[in-house]
Amino acid sequence: MAQKEKLQCLKDFHKDTLKPSPGKSPGTRPEDEAEGKAPQREKWASKLDFVLSVAGGFIGLGNVWRFPYLCYKNGGGATTWAYAAVAETVPLRSLSSSGIGYASFVIVSLLNVYYIVILAWGLYYLLQCFQPELPWAKCKQPWNTDTCVEDTVRKNKTLWLAVNTTNFTSPVTEFWERNVLSISTGIDDIGPLKWDLALCLLAVWVICFFCIWKGVKSTGKVVYITATFPFVMLTVLLVRGVTLPGAYEGIKFYLYPDLSRLKDPEVWIDAGTQIFFSYAICLGAMTSLGSYNKYKYNCYRNCLLLGVLNSGTSFVSGFAIFSVLGFMAQEQGVDIADVAESGPGLAFIAYPKAVSMMPLPTLWAILFFIMLLLLGLDSQFVEVEGQITSIVDLFPSVLRKGYRREMFIAVVCSISYLLGLAMVTKGGMYVFQLFDYYAASGVCLLWVAFFECIAVAWVYGVDNFYDAIEDMIGYRPNPWMKWSWTIITPVLCMGCFVFSLVKYKPLTYNKVYEYPDWSIGLGWCLALSSMICIPMVMVIKILQSEGPLIERIKAVAAPAKSGVSSRPKEYSLKGSELTQPLDPNGNNGLLKPTHTIVETTM
């Protein structure tokens, strides 16, 4: 009789968990508030909501401008092949472990401050498209200098020879640097706020807030547009790109590797860091999204499928971008290696220049920047959702009641916006690059990834991890994954980490401006703010343990005992049994949610 009552209680629990009360935050139940309990977590309304949210989270601006730029920087196909090789050896998308969580939280918090600035630039460009003529297509604008030379002049050899071309600049470059950025002389000269960009930044933060303010229920619906429409636009731009004259040369440059570049460690470091950047690994956002799934969700299958989708999107984006670069090279009569700019300039200089040369330039510019905005927007609000979830889960009894979650999201967005204002000043680009180079750099991500592998594969135990996955999905993953988690990936991460430090070069802007020493020091403080979390928590755990120092270290680093369940706190049914999850070290206690290491994400 007692067993039947337990089963009925469990059914009632699952039935009521997702019934939010009117006027309450998602997941809040009246009985929880009445009894003073922490409100229950909400769940995804459907599997498709989760899949699209994850796809939108890691398929973003990095696929459109960062991956093609790295290919361009490292001689075309060399990075493409290195990326493919590294992607096969880093199956970190299905791992996650307590200092690692804090490190990921710091990284994603810093990332959310500066990543959205790219969307502000994109929105500004989009608004500028609604003019009779694209403002970056011609010289003689208020912001242009006497050295501005239009691309039509370069194409006309007679006019080109008649012009003093020693220090010429293109109208699209001057629009970017002198109108959009109004860039100052350096980070020491931060300059006044650019109110047009500040308003654009405010607009994208407001959009981001309303995309996530009701939790995964609102996020799951928004991504039906933000995650699918960019694929339509990318397909349209791809078809248009490959039909342009000169596209073949651009694609050839993209696919055919300079084999000598494969000997350069920098190519492999760039490929490795791009994997982490594009898959949103070690940021905690995928863990947060996965935590809203049901326990039996097949994370392993979707991890593989969405991984292929992400890398495939980067690969296809390369065709779209390099076909346009080939067209630009033919139109300007220059080599492909000299036609593009670095970093964000690939999106805000190279492509705007390309569309100004096409028929119906305004149409193609509008389509491109809409795609850019949607790609960045869903990545941004997914990362912010991960940041919010991390804090809400630490204080559920406080932040899940009433409208407190919504108010907390508004506070986080407001603080992030105020911090981001430093990047929309006249010296804002220097601040932006400082954050991009240090705060969420490959060094930070590689550091976190290495310890994530050690924590899961060696401390928790790879066999325990396999048992947990089997309990969730009904079968064990390919044995190759075990070798990758225990040996291949940790060695690869540490190798790239060491190479990154050995090959480290101080930050510069446009390969000309050198950052002052104080700003380099500030950048390393940003990097260490996340990296220090892992050893700091280790030390705290050791100090909190009892016994001699050696015994404390052994106790903290001891692998978890095998043969235990990793099921979440809420009981799970298996057949007719009601199974209670245990602490992995056999302490006869419930397994805390923070100890559950199966990241049910992609």
C-alpha closest to that of 496 among 461, 450, 550: 450
Which residue, 41, 92, 105, is CA-closest to 383?
105
HEC-encoded secondary structure of 173-200: HHHHHHHHCCCCCCCCCCCCECHHHHHH
Q: What would the two tokens of residue 343 be?
A: 């970093």
Cα-based distances in Å from 306 to 234, 297, 315, 559: 18, 15, 14, 31
What does the DSSP 8-state code read for residue 169?
A: B
> Please, are residues 314 and 320 in contact by the beta-carbon 8 Å criterion?
no
Q: What is the dihedral of CA 256, 260, 266, 268, to 10 degrees?
A: 60
CA–CA separation, 282 and 274 (whole Å): 13
Query: Measuring CA to CA, how many Å separate 37 from each of 33, 400, 404, 407, 590?
Result: 6, 10, 15, 20, 17
What is the C-alpha separation between 405 and 411, in angstroms, rounded? 10
Residue 22 is given by DSSP the state T
Q: Which two tokens stand for residue 553?
A: 């270290």
* Contact present, 589 and 598 (Cβ < 8 Å): no
Give binding residues for Na(+) as ranges: 56, 63, 278, 310, 375, 378-379
DSSP string, 426-495: TTHHHHHHHIIIIIT-HHHHHHHHHHHHIIIIIIIIHHHHHHHHHHHHSSPPPHHHHHIIIIIHHHHHHH
Whole-Å CA distances, 533 to 27, 103, 106, 135, 444: 31, 5, 9, 47, 11
Q: Where are the alpha helices (DSSP H) in 88-148?
A: 99-128
Burial class (CB in 10 A: 0-12, 13-18, 19+), 192: exposed
Dihedral of CA atoms 54, 55, 61, 66 in degrees, nearest 10, equals 100
Task: Give the whole-angstrom CA distance, residue 481 versus residue 265.
Answer: 25
d(CA 84, CA 318): 13
Alpha helix segments (H runs only) across 474-601? 479-483, 489-502, 517-531, 533-544, 549-557
The DSSP code for 338 is G
Please enumerate, by residue number, every residue annotated as part of a binding site.
56, 63, 278, 310, 375, 378-379
